Amino acid sequence: MTDPADARTPEPAPAIEAKGGCLCGAVRFESNAFHPHVTLCHCSMCRKFHGHAGPYTTVPISRLVLNDSQGALRWYRSSASAERGFCGLCGSSLFFRSINSTQLDVAAGCLDGLTGMTTVKHIFVASKGDYYEITDELPQLPQGSDDPPA
Ligand SMILES: [Zn+2]
Ligand SMILES: [Zn+2]
């Protein structure tokens, strides 16, 4: 006989409602479906794009409301499989998405005010910068996890 606990699926983490945008305000976005967990990506591309590790939450693209009336949002194809979104007016680094993905990774630092989100892990720690140490107790993955920014 199977232990019912084995069949129990974990409760999905409750989604977060938040608004955010770039430094100058030309690119604004909001959703009620942000993932509450933030992953800090230490890969060299995130560090160059953001100036430091990339703090990503994620949201289904279909659930994101984008307000970019000036057409300021630009996309940079950073690899064969991914592109990164930023504001062409103020330079804020905002988004990461894998080509053809239905998910958009959003830099949590661009969200307004208190987010209620929690950083849960570090990824691509093998390529982190040598100018800082990771001093928390969160899991550190040498490379990516299931669907990491890269
Ligand atoms: Zn801007
Ligand atoms: Zn990265």
pLDDT of res. 144: 86
Q: What values do phi and psi take at 132, rounded to 5?
A: -150, 160
Nearest bound ligand to CA 29?
Answer: 1
How many angstroms separate the alpha carbon of residue 50 from the centre of ligand 2? 10
Residue 60 domain-assigned (yes or no)? yes
Does a structural domain hold residue 95?
Answer: yes
Q: Tell whether 23 is covered by a domain.
A: yes
3-class DSSP assignment, residue 18 = strand
Residues whose CB falls within 8 Å of the CB of residue 1, separated by 6 or more in sequence, listed in order: none
Question: Looking at residue 97, which CATH number applies to its domain?
Answer: 2.170.150.70
What pTM, to 2 d.p., does this model score? 0.88
* Partners of residue 50 on adjacent β-strands: none
Give a yes or no: residue 114 inside a domain. Answer: yes
Residue 133 lies in a domain: no
Q: How far apart are CA 71 and CA 104, in angstroms?
A: 18
Ligand closest to CA 89: 1
Encode pLDDT of 45-84 as tens digits. 999 999 999 999 999 999 999 999 999 999 999 999 999 9
CA–CA distance, 11 with 142 (Å, rounded to integer): 27
Phi, psi of 46 (to 5 degrees): -65, -40
- Å from CA of 143 to ligand 2 middle: 9
pLDDT, position 146: 57
Judge whether 144 lies within some domain.
no
Q: Which residue segment(s) compose the domain that 111 sits in?
A: 15-127
Give every residue of the chain whose pLDDT is below 50, as ranges: 1-2, 147-150
Query: How many domains is the chain built from?
Result: 1
